[in-house]
Amino acid sequence: MSRAVAAPERNDASVAAQQAAVRGLDAMAVERAAVENAEAGGIGGLLRRIDWSKAGLVVGLLLFAAASIVLYHLLAELTWTDVENAIARVKWHEVAMAAGATALSYLALVGYDLLALRHIRAKVPLRAVAFTSFVSHAFTYTLGFGVLTGGAVRWRMYQGYGLKPAQILAVGMLCAVTFWLGITGVAGLGLVLEPSMLAPLDGLDARLNLAIGAVIVGAILAWVVASAIKPRTVTISDWTMPLPGAGAALGSVLVGLLDTTAAACALWLILPDGPDPGFASFLVVFAIATVLGVVSHVPGGVGVFEATMIVALPLVPQADLVGSLLLFRLVYYAVPFGLASALLGAYEVRHRRETVGRIAGTLGSLARPLVPRAAGVAVFLGGVVLLLSGATPAEHDRIRVLRSFVPLPFVETSHFAASVIGLVLLVVAYGLVRRMTNAWRLAILLLSAGALFSVLKGLDFEEAIVCTVVVCLLLVSRREFYRQADLFAVRPSFEWILAVIVAIGASIWLGFFVWRNVEYQNVLWWDFGYHHDAPRFMRATLGVFVAALGIAAYILLHRSQPAADPAAPDEVARILPLVAASPRSEANLALLGDKRFVLAPDGRGFVMYGVQGRSWISMGDPVADDGEVDDLVWQFKELVDRHGGMPVFYQVTTQHLPAYLDAGFSLAKLGEEAWVPLTRFTLEGGEGRRLRQAKAKAERSGASFAMVPAAEVGTIIDELEEVSNLWLTQKGNKEKGFSLGFWSRAYMLRYDQAVIRHEGRIVAFANIWRGADRREYTVDLMRYRPDGPAGMMDLLFIGLLSQAKSEGFAWFNLGMAPLSGLATHRLASLWSRIGAFLYRRGDRFYNFEGLRAFKDKFKPEWRPKYLAFPGGLALPQILMDVTGLIASSPRRALSEEIS
C-alpha cells in the first residue's frame, strides 16, 4: 500500500526537479524532499503520528461503552424492587463474612509493597507499609487512575521515611508490575484449570481457552527463568530501574493468588443459593472480570466488572446477582475507601497540626459568612420535612409498637404540633439568614420539640434525626447569630414568602393526593385513632393555615423600631459640647431633635442617624476628629449589623472616602456643594460689579439686610413663623427635615438670624450656622414672603457673605445642588446617567439647573458629595428610604417634643 501511495508523488517530484533545474535549483534535493514526504504520508507516518499514550484510555472507553450496552440489554426487564428484595434476602452474617474476606484481601495486597521495597532495598517499618498499602490500594480501586491516586499516597507516605523520589517512583511501578504478574497469573491458572467457564463470555471453545491459559502461564514461567538467568532493567532517560527477578515474580503470583482468592470469596459468600459453578470456576470468572475492569480504566471497573460477571454466570438469577454485586461494591470498595479517607485525614492532622489548624481557621473565616444562609436553608428544609411528614401516613408497624406505650391523645397532639412547628420553622429560617439571636433560640427550641413530636406521633426517627442534626449545626455556629432585632418585626423578602407558600402548598397537595380515595365527611374532623391518618392530616392542615394567617397578621401589624425614635433630651445634652466644638457647620443638624446618636467610646465624636425601613441613615460624615472617623464608621456599621439593617452614610465628603471604602461601602455621587472662598469675595471693582448692582437694586426697592442675635430672636419669632407659614403655603410644601432644618421655635431660638426687612416688616430670613474654627459659615432654614420685593434673596446672600467675611471666616457654604456634576458618559454607572438625565429634564419636579445657576453667581468651588451604601441592588430602596426619612423627620421630632 505504501508503494501505491508513494508512486504518483514520486512522479510529481521528478517534474518538480526538472522545473527546479531549469531555474538553477538542486533537483536532487527537491526529489529527496518529495520522497521523504511520500514516505511520511504512508502508513508508517500515520502510525508515528498516533498518540499511543491515549490508546489505553480509548480501549477503556470502548470497553465501558460495550459493557454499558450489554448491561442495558441484560437488565432491561429487571426492576429495582426485584433488586431490593434480593438484597433483603442476604443474611447479615454472610455480609460479615464477606467483610472478613475483604480484610484478608487488603492484607494480602501489602505483599506487593513489601516485594517492591525489598527489591529496591529500602527499609520501611511494617506498620507504615501496611498503612500505605491499604490507603493507596483503597484509593486506586475506588477512584481508578492509580498513578494519580495510589501513587500520590505512596509519595506522601514514603517520603517521610527517607525514600528518595526515584525510589518512590520505582515502588509504584514495581507494585503495578507485580500486580499485573499476579492477576494475569491467577487468570492464566484459572483458564488452565477451568477452561469451559469462559465459554459464555468469549464464545471460544474450551480447548482454545486452555491454550490461552497455557500461553499466559508459559509466558510468566519464561519471564521467571529469564530473570533468574539475567536480571532485567528499564531505562527512562537517565533513570534506571531493575525489574523483578525470579523470586519477586513468583512472590507476586502468590500474592495475586491470595488477594484474588480472598476478594472472590467476599463476593462468593453473598451470592444467592442456587446453581453452584464451584469456587474454582467462579475464581476464574472473577479474575477475568477484574482484569477487564482494570483495563477499562473506569474507577473500580464499574460496569465492566458487573457486565462480565452477569454474562459469565447465566445460571445465577439476575436480580440476586445484581443485589450481590451492589453489596460487594459496598463491602469491598466503599467501606475501605471511607476508612482509608478517615485514616489519611487523621494522619495529616497528626503530622500537620499547625498547618491544619491554620487552614481550618482560614476555611472557617471564609465559610463564616455562609453559615447563616446554610443554617437558614437547613432549618427551612427541616420545616418542610415536618410538614410533608404530617401529610403522609405513618407506618403501621411503627404505630403498632407506639400504641403499646404512648396514649392516643399524645399521638394526636404530637402530630398536630409537629406540623405547626414545621410552618413556624419556615418563618424562623428567614431570621437565621438575617443572623438574629431570637431566631436562633426559637429554631433550637422548635427543632428540639419537632424531634420529640416526630417520635411520639409515629416513631419517625428519620425526621427526628434531621431535626437533631440541624440543632447541632446551630449550636456550633452560635456566634454567627448576634443581631438583637425583633424576629417578627422584619418583613421577609418576596422570594422567601413565595418559598413558604410553595412549601405549604406542596404539603397540602401531597396530603390530598395520598388521601384522594378517602371520601370526605364532616365526621372525619372528629375521628381519632391510632391508624386514622387522614383526619389527622385534615386537622394539621387547618392548624397550619390558621397559624400562617396569625403570623402574617402579626408581621403586617407589628412595627417595632426601637432605634427609630429620636434621642432623648439627655442624649442631646451630651452632644451639645461636641456640636459647639465642631468645625463643621452641619453638625448643628444634630440639634433638630429628629435623630439618634452613636457616641465614640471616648465621648469625643458621634454619628447622627435616623432609621427608615431597613435603612439606617447617617447624616453626613461622623462628627469627630479625623483620627476617629474610621472607628466611628465601623462602630455605626456594627450597630446596624446587630439590628439587621442596612448602614448608609448620606452626603459624605471626599475627605473621608477611604474610610467608607475600607468598610466595604459602595459610593454614588449625589451632587455638588458650592463653597465660596471669602478671601476672593468682593463687591468692589469689576469682579463685584454684578453683585453690587443686584444689592443696589434691592435696596432701592426699600429692602434692607440686618443681623438679629440669638438673644433677641424671641422678639421677632412670631414674625418669622408668619413668613415660614406663608412660604409653605405658597410652595405647597410640607416641612422636611433630617438633612435640613424645619420650623421649630426651640430650634430657631438657638441661632442668630439674618433678616430682610421691607417697609418695616420681615420678608425673608435665614438662620446662621458657624463652624468652631472660623472656617465655615453657612445658613440652614431660609424662608421668604411671596409678596416680598424683587432681589431680596440676592440681598440676603450678599449680606451674609459680607457678614461672614467681616467675621473672619474662610468659606461660605451655599449648600448642595442635587444631581449636578454627574457623569453622562455611556460607560458611567446607571445611577449616574439616570441622575444626569433627571438634572437636565426634571425641572417640573425640582429646579435643579436654576438652583445651580443661582449659586454660580457667587463664583463658588464645587465639591462633590456622595452616598455611601452597602452596594448591590439596594440603591433604589435606599434612596426611597432617604426620601421618606427626610419627609417624616419633622413629624418624629414634633411627636417626641409633645410627648
**Domain layout of the chain by residue ranges:** 2-50, 78-350, 370-557, 679-809
Q: What is the pLDDT of residue 565?
A: 65
Return the minimum-mean-pLDDT range out of 86-90, 401-405, 763-767: 401-405
**What pLDDT digit, counting tens, does each position of 827-848 carry?**
777 778 877 777 777 666 667 7
Task: Describe the strand order of the beta sheet including 776-784 as a list of residue ranges.
Answer: 596-599, 606-612, 615-619, 646-652, 861-869, 666-677, 811-818, 776-784, 761-770, 753-758, 703-708
**What pLDDT digit, counting tens, does each position of 473-494 carry?**
888 777 777 666 556 655 666 6
Average pLDDT over residues 91-120: 83
Average pLDDT over residues 761-787: 90
Residue 754: pLDDT band by 50, 70, 90 thresholds?
A: very high
Alpha helices in 625-716 (DSSP H): 626-642, 657-662, 689-700
Q: What is the pLDDT of residue 753?
A: 93
> What is the architecture of the domain spanning 679-809?
3-Layer(aba) Sandwich (3.40)
Mean pLDDT of the chain: 76
Q: What is the pLDDT of residue 23?
A: 42
Return the minimum-mean-pLDDT range out of 42-46, 327-331, 805-809, 887-891: 42-46
Residue 253: pLDDT band by 50, 70, 90 thresholds?
A: confident
Q: What percent of the chain has pLDDT over 90?
A: 10
In 3D space, the residue among 625, 577, 571, 576 whose CA is nearest the CA of residue 598 turns out to be 571
Distance of CA 663 to the CA centre of its chain: 21
C-alpha–C-alpha distance, residues 347 and 358, integer Å: 16
Return the minimum-mean-pLDDT range out of 20-24, 725-729, 893-897: 20-24
Is residue 492 within 8 Å of 427, Cβ to Cβ? yes
- Structure-model confidence comparison of residues 346 and 785, the more confident one: 785
Residue 666 has pLDDT above 50, yes or no: yes
C-alpha–C-alpha distance, residues 686 and 688, integer Å: 6
This prediction's pTM: 0.49
Q: What percent of the chain has pLDDT over 70?
A: 73
Average pLDDT over residues 212-223: 80
Residue type, 728: L
Is residue 181 within 8 Å of 219, Cβ to Cβ? no
Residue 778: pLDDT band by 50, 70, 90 thresholds?
A: very high
- Structure-model confidence comparison of residues 468 and 492, the more confident one: 468
Residue 150: pLDDT band by 50, 70, 90 thresholds?
A: low
**What pLDDT digit, counting tens, does each position of 571-605 carry?**
888 888 999 889 888 899 888 888 889 888 888 89
Q: What is the pLDDT of residue 602?
A: 83
Q: Residue written as cell 405547626?
A: 420
Average pLDDT over residues 438-450: 85
Q: How many helical (H) and strand (E) elements, i.e. helices and strands, does the chain have?
A: 34, 13
Residue 9 has pLDDT above 50, yes or no: no
C-alpha–C-alpha distance, residues 821 and 832, integer Å: 9
Residue 363 has pLDDT above 70, yes or no: no
Return the minimum-mean-pLDDT range out of 130-139, 209-218, 272-281, 672-681: 272-281
Is residue 871 within 8 Å of 668, Cβ to Cβ? no
* Alpha carbon distances (Å) from 587 to 580, 659, 813, 878: 8, 19, 13, 23
C-alpha–C-alpha distance, residues 601 and 624, integer Å: 12
